[in-house]
Amino acid sequence: MAHERTLVIIKPDAIQRELAGEILTRFERKGLKMIGLKLQLLPEETIRDHYAHLREKVFFEELVEFMTNTPSILIVLEGKECVEVVRRMVGTTNARSADIGSIRGDYGMSVQSNLVHASESLVAAQTEIDRFFKPGEIHDFTKISFHLVYSSAERD
Ligand code: DAT
Ligand code: MG
């Protein structure tokens, strides 16, 4: 399967604001294949690893608290060039300046509470999928709408 996989987290603010269905629907309607999905209260240590690149920042402890006080929805998506496609659907980190039409741009007003996480590269995506999902929680099935979403050359 040459199609990429990426990790999306529907964050606690989106769950509390009842935006989970809205956000999930965007990925479905785009034509992405959902191969993993679960609701989970994320363990503090897992979030410290996930955001290790930010551990020296003044906002880090508040970020850890924000991410661990309400469950998140974890999603693995698959599709052609989907790491880049999903990052563009999510928008830039600061939701106030994110493009209108992106998820953060349409629903958010915050840098921290910006509704969704999406892996930033193919390498990060693999690490993050392995961090949050066991192999048995990812489902490799044939999606019958693929011949409508892609040309034959784009399907592999
Ligand atoms: P992104 O989520 O767009 O990949 P990132 O990896 O730089 O951005 O940061 C991860 C998360 O950390 C981000 O979604 C929200 C939080 N964050 C980043 N910069 C912040 C800041 N200046 N103040 C508060 N939270 C911040
Ligand atoms: Mg990031």
Is 104 annotated among the ligand-binding residues? yes
Q: Which pLDDT tens digit goes with each residue over 68-89?
A: 999 999 999 999 999 999 999 9
- Nearest 10 degrees: CA dihedral of 51, 57, 58, 63? -10
**If pLDDT is split at 50, 70 and 90, which confidence band does 1 have?**
low
Is 88 annotated among the ligand-binding residues? no
Site of tokens 């990429």: 4
CA distance 107 to 19: 9
Is 117 an active-site residue? Answer: yes
Token pair for residue 18?
């009842």
Q: Which amino acid does the sequence have at 39?
A: L
Ligand 2 centroid–CA 89 distance in Å is 14
Ligand 2 centroid–CA 152 distance in Å is 33
Choice from 9, 63, 107 to test ligand 1 binding pocket (greatest atom count within 8 A of CB): 63
Within 10 angstroms of residue 123's Cβ, the number of other Cβ atoms is: 10
pLDDT the model gives residue 110: 98
**If pLDDT is split at 50, 70 and 90, which confidence band does 156 have?**
confident
Domain boundaries, the chain: 4-154
Look up residue 100 and give its DSSP letter: B
Evaluated on CA atoms 31, 36, 38, 44, the torsion sign reads negative
Q: Which CATH architecture has domain 4-154?
A: 2-Layer Sandwich (3.30)
Look up residue 53 and give its DSSP letter: G
**If pLDDT is split at 50, 70 and 90, which confidence band does 150 have?**
very high
Within 10 angstroms of residue 132's Cβ, the number of other Cβ atoms is: 20
Once rounded to an integer, what is the mean pLDDT over residues 97-125?
98
CA distance 78 to 70: 26
CA distance 5 to 123: 10
